[in-house]
Amino acid sequence: MLSPLLLGVLASAIVFEFINGFHDTANTIATTVYTRALPVRTAILMSAAMNFIGALTSEKVAEKVAMTIAHGLVNVSLELYVILAALLGAIIWDLATWWFSIPSSSSHALIGSLIGATIVFTRTTSTVEWGGVAEKVLIPLFTSPLIGLCIGFLLMKLLLELFAYWHPAKASSLFHKLQIASSLVMSYSHGNNDAQKTMGIITLALIAAGALPQGSGVPMWVKVTCAATMALGTSIGGRRIMKTVGNGVTKLDSALGFAAQVSSAFAIETMTALGAPVSTTQVLTTSIMGAGSVRGTKKVKWGMAGSIFTAWVVTLPATMALGGVCALIIEMIL
């Protein structure tokens, strides 16, 4: 028999994953939609299917991210209400940034909120695995966008060299087709990395409730639930954030969109293999910046880029505070 508190945690985790679906997944199809490689509805449904497949990947390499969330950030057994507070803090941040069309990171929102709730629960910072946070969160926070930026720049430069003498209409037709393929890969990569965070938090809750032994892997029913929920959220779409990513950083065409998606997918898959929870939003945005800057730095809207960067930096401390406040409120209620 599941306790009301555990049911509350599971329900909140599903809500978080649903929001993640329309909050972050909009980024994976933004370039495809804005270059008109695919209609919005088709792109959303395609992305939902690939997110489901990516999230359901059962290979051990894909579970590394989930295990980072479940076992690599804190070194104390948490009460269920702490996990609930972490989820609520992340949900509040995701909804706020979605409302204001800010492409922030659901991944870092969940991690920051979990850290903040844990500090309030233990009344000390020593229970946080700061080495693990640095290795698996802070370093990828800066390196994964840089990888996207550099590969985006180099790949776009290569494409311009290779197709310099092609007729523009012929090149555009080719890259429309290639962009559909790259969007499929990008959506798969997003599902493969992002869904693992919620799988990890649910696993952590089940261990805290005694429903799973310490050190357990992700149960199959958790994988299926998270995969299906993310796919459902994706199918709803996230057009607010899609506008910011799709045309807010630089003027897109099909070649630039293809270069950005390929660069992003490479960076995300690399970090997934290392067990690092990264932000699809960050990686794709910097990939677009890198590809766009090949045509001149003035082609990139650096003011918008600065606003997005500020949101990245603020997310962790802001969600630590939110998670801590939620934990305090739930403590008082209980």
Q: Region of 314 please: left (phi>0), alpha (psi -120 to 50) or beta.
A: alpha
90 secondary structure, DSSP code: H
pLDDT single digits (tens) 234-243? 777 555 556 5
Instruction: State the Cα–Cα distance between residues 41 and 28, nearest whole angstrom.
Output: 14
Domains of the chain by residue range: 4-333
DSSP states of 51-67: HHHHHH--SHHHHHHHH
In Å, how far from its chain's centre is CA 121? 26
Helix 60-71 / helix 168-208 crossing angle, nearest 10 deg: 50
Q: Bridge partners of 74?
A: 128
Q: What is the mean pLDDT of residues 84-101?
A: 88
Q: Which pTM was predicted?
A: 0.81
Name residue 257's amino acid: G
Torsion 6-51-281-155 (CA) sign: positive
Q: What is the mean pLDDT of residues 264-292?
A: 80
250 secondary structure, DSSP code: B
Backbone Cα Rg of the chain: 19
Mean of the per-residue pLDDT values of the chain: 82
Instruction: State the Cα–Cα distance between residues 30 and 114, nearest whole angstrom.
Output: 29
In this prediction, residue 272 has a pLDDT band, given cuts at 50, 70 and 90, of confident
Instruction: State the Cα–Cα distance between residues 163 and 180, nearest whole angstrom.
Output: 19
Q: Region of 36 please: left (phi>0), alpha (psi -120 to 50) or beta.
A: left
Q: Is the pLDDT of residue 125 over 80?
A: yes
Listed range (204-218, 228-242, 250-264) with the worst mean pLDDT: 228-242
Q: What is the mean pLDDT of residues 251-273?
A: 85
The helix/strand/coil state of 128 is strand
- Residue 229 tokens read as 């929920």
Q: Tell me, what's the pLDDT at 269?
A: 81
Q: Tell me, what's the pLDDT at 106?
A: 79
- Residue 154 tokens read as 């180099």
Q: Residues with Cβ < 8 Å from 283, sequence gap 6 or more?
A: 144, 145, 147, 148, 263, 264, 267, 268
Q: For the chain, how many residues are written?
A: 334
Name residue 78's amino acid: L
122 secondary structure, DSSP code: H
Cα–Cα distance list, 88 to 20, 63, 82, 173, 202 (Å): 13, 24, 10, 45, 14
Torsion 231-279-203-17 (CA) sign: negative
Q: Which of 24-33, 274-283, 304-313, 322-331 has the highest mean pLDDT?
A: 322-331
Q: What is the mean pLDDT of residues 19-47?
A: 76
